Amino acid sequence: VTCDQVEAINRKVVDEKAKRFFFVPNPVKVTVEDAPREKKVLKLHPTIDLGTRMVETSNVFFIPKEDADKLKVGDVFRLKDLYNVKVTEKNREIKGRFMGKQLLPGTDKIQWVTEKCFCMTVYVPKPLFIKGKYNPSSLMQVEGYAEDAVQGLRHGEIVQFERFGFVRIERKDDEIIGIFAHK
């Protein structure tokens, strides 16, 4: 049995129970000119009724650095499940302009969180040994921002951070961390 096969079986087991949330690894700030303020109701699962959560938006978002690095001035992208943004300026941060809510074909959909988020570390285990030798990089730390609703999760709950993977939530005192399982 390969690791991929175990992950496929586990995905079938946890997928129906795992609520979906937003987590942005290595966040980059995006400020959107003319952005509508929204109270967006998002489903906790795309096909099964596990409830909803409310996300209030302003004109400030954070997106993954990996996605931000691909954007150029003039590009239009979609804040996933929200609306379109045209990049007007790009430095260490991105400035953009609201470009409507209609889904545009071929537009990249990018994961996001609002300013109502918190810093969170997700630990990603890698093989402990490679070719019989200890792997000093066997535990990666991914720093990012999780949406505020994640603070309401209980210890041990397994969720899916959209476009990131399945994560077990661990709570100790006031700290919340994630332990990555798989995509």
DSSP 8-state assignment for residue 151: G
Query: Looking at residue 1, what is its pLDDT?
Result: 63
d(CA 71, CA 37) in angstroms, rounded, equals: 24
Query: Which residues of the chain have a pLDDT value below 70?
Result: 1, 3, 6, 9-13
User: What's the angle, vertex CA 28, arms to CA 27 and CA 34, rounded to 5?
Assistant: 125
SS3 category, 135 = coil
Q: Are 169 and 155 in contact (CB under 8 A)?
A: yes
Query: Looking at residue 65, what is its pLDDT?
Result: 97
The 10s digit of each residue's pLDDT in 84-121 is: 999 999 999 999 999 999 999 889 999 999 999 999 99
Residue ranges of alpha helices (H) inside the chain are 3-15, 65-70
Q: What is the pTM of this model?
A: 0.89
